[in-house]
Amino acid sequence: MTRQNIFDQYTAKTSPIHRLSPIVKVVVAVLFIFSNTLLPDGAWLSFALSGGIILTLTLLAKLEWHYTLKRSLIVLPFALAGISALFSLPGKTLAIWHIGSLELILTDAGLLRFESILVRSWLSVQIAILLVATTTFPDLIHALEHLRLPKMLVTVVAFLYRYMTVLSDEALRLLRARQSRSALLPNPPHSDDFSRPALGKLRTKVLTTKTRGGGSLLWRARTAGNMVGQLFLRSYERSDRIYHAMLSRGYSGHLRTLNPHSMESRDWLLIVLAFIFIALLQLFAHIS
For residue 75, give the nearest of 219, 199, 187 by alpha carbon. 199
Other C-beta atoms lying within 10 Å of the C-beta of residue 2: 12
190: phi > 0 → left, psi -120 to 50 → alpha, else beta; which? beta
Using CB under 8 A as the binding rule, the residues of this chain from 147 to 166 that contact another protein are 150-153, 155-166
Residue with Cβ nearer another protein (200 or 269) = 200
Using CB under 8 A as the binding rule, the residues of this chain from 4 to 23 that contact another protein are 4, 7-9
Residues 75-114 vs another protein: string with x where CB under 8 A?
x-xx-xxxxxx-xxxx-----------x------x---x-
Determine the straight-line distance between the first and last CA of the chain, rounded to whole angstroms.
52
Residue with Cβ nearer another protein (44 or 161) = 161
252 phi, psi to nearest 5 deg: -140, 35
Residue with Cβ nearer another protein (61 or 269) = 61
CB of 266 to another protein, least distance (A): 22
Question: Given candidates 18, 27, 71, 281, which one binds another protein under the rule CB under 8 A?
Answer: 71
Other C-beta atoms lying within 10 Å of the C-beta of residue 52: 10
Question: 16, 60 in Cβ contact below 8 A?
Answer: yes
Question: Given candidates 23, 24, 28, 36, which one binds another protein under the rule CB under 8 A?
Answer: 36
Q: What angle do CA 276, 280, 283 make, to 5 degrees?
A: 140
Residue with Cβ nearer another protein (80 or 287) = 80
Using CB under 8 A as the binding rule, the residues of this chain from 180 to 199 that contact another protein are 185-186, 189, 198
Question: Given candidates 53, 55, 231, 270, which one binds another protein under the rule CB under 8 A?
Answer: 231
Question: 193, 180 in Cβ contact below 8 A?
Answer: no
CB of 71 to another protein, least distance (A): 7
Question: 28, 36 in Cβ contact below 8 A?
Answer: no
Decide: helix, strand or coil at residue 112: helix
Question: Given candidates 2, 13, 34, 279, which one binds another protein under the rule CB under 8 A?
Answer: 34
d(CA 186, CA 229): 19
Binding residues with another protein: total (CB under 8 A): 127
236 interacts with another protein by CB under 8 A: yes
CB of 273 to another protein, least distance (A): 21
CB-based contacts of 24, cutoff 8 Å, min separation 6: 267, 270, 271
CB of 31 to another protein, least distance (A): 10
Question: Given candidates 17, 27, 28, 33, which one binds another protein under the rule CB under 8 A?
Answer: 33
